[in-house]
């Protein structure tokens, strides 16, 4: 009987030994809110509240954002907010300014800025590679063929996805950094 009594005492102690599950954390709390201005904090919180329905709980009780449920209109700003936070953490003021500029611009403003670019800086030949833009390990050449591809095959056909938005921003950034365009 002593073995059963011993086992019974150990089983009685089990509930006390089990650590309680941590409170599920929401995705919005992963942002270092103190890095943002008060206005940015309000905008970020409002944006994250819109994403609240896209959360699910994993098998460990943690709240996760289901990226597969995000539309392009939701994923792009989320990516910009994360990039802004990283830039602020690393004190990269140029990247932070760029992220803030893009967060302040909606799709219509982006399209208008892209479609009104002054292309006089580009070589007249469609096959000439044009100015080079280096982003990380990627090298992009801005030429008339590339511009027309974005305009005709994406904008005019209503196929404006994340990569098209990124390409348009690259063009606008080049014009802005070359002092050809005020933003």
| pLDDT tens-digit map of 6-64 | 777 777 777 766 766 555 444 444 788 899 999 999 999 999 888 888 777 777 777 77
Residue-range definition of the domain harbouring residue 20: 16-104
Q: Are 99 and 114 in a shared domain?
A: no
Q: Are 92 and 26 in a shared domain?
A: yes
- The β-bridge partners of 133 are 140
Residue among 46, 51, 77 nearest 64 (CA):
51
Please calculate the CA angle 113-119-122 and round it to the nearest 5 degrees.
140
pTM of the model: 0.70
Kindly report, residue by residue over 122-174, the tens digit of the pLDDT. 888 877 888 898 888 999 989 888 999 999 999 999 888 888 999 999 999 89
Domain endpoint, select from 69, 104, 139 = 104
Instruction: Please report the pLDDT score of residue 124 as a whole number.
Output: 82
**Count of residues making up the chain:** 183
Residue 3: inside a domain, yes or no? no
Q: How confident is the model at residue 89 (pLDDT cuts 50, 70, 90)?
A: very high
- How many domains are there within the chain? 2
- Sign (positive/negative) of CA torsion 83, 84, 88, 92? positive
- The one-character DSSP state at 66 is -
Q: Are 23 and 95 in a shared domain?
A: yes
Domain endpoint, select from 75, 104, 133 = 104
Distance CA 175, CA 180 (A): 5
């Amino acid at each position: 009987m002593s073995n059963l009594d011993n086992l019974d005492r150990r089983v009685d102690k089990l509930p006390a030994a089990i650590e309680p599950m941590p409170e599920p954390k929401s995705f919005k709390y992963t942002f270092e809110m103190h890095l943002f201005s008060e206005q940015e904090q309000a905008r970020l919180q409002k944006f994250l509240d819109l994403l609240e329905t896209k959360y699910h709980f994993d098998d460990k009780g943690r709240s996760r954002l289901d990226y597969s449920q995000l539309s392009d209109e939701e994923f792009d700003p989320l990516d910009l907010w994360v990039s802004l936070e990283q830039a602020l953490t690393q004190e990269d003021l140029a990247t932070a300014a760029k992220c803030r500029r893009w967060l302040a611009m909606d799709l219509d403003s982006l399209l208008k800025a892209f479609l009104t670019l002054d292309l006089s800086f580009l070589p007249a030949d469609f096959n000439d590679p044009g100015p080079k833009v280096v982003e990380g390990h990627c090298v992009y050449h801005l030429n008339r063929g590339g511009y027309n591809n974005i305009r005709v095959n994406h904008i005019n056909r209503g196929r404006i996805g994340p990569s098209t938005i990124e390409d348009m921003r690259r063009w606008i950034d080049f014009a802005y950094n070359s002092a050809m365009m005020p933003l």
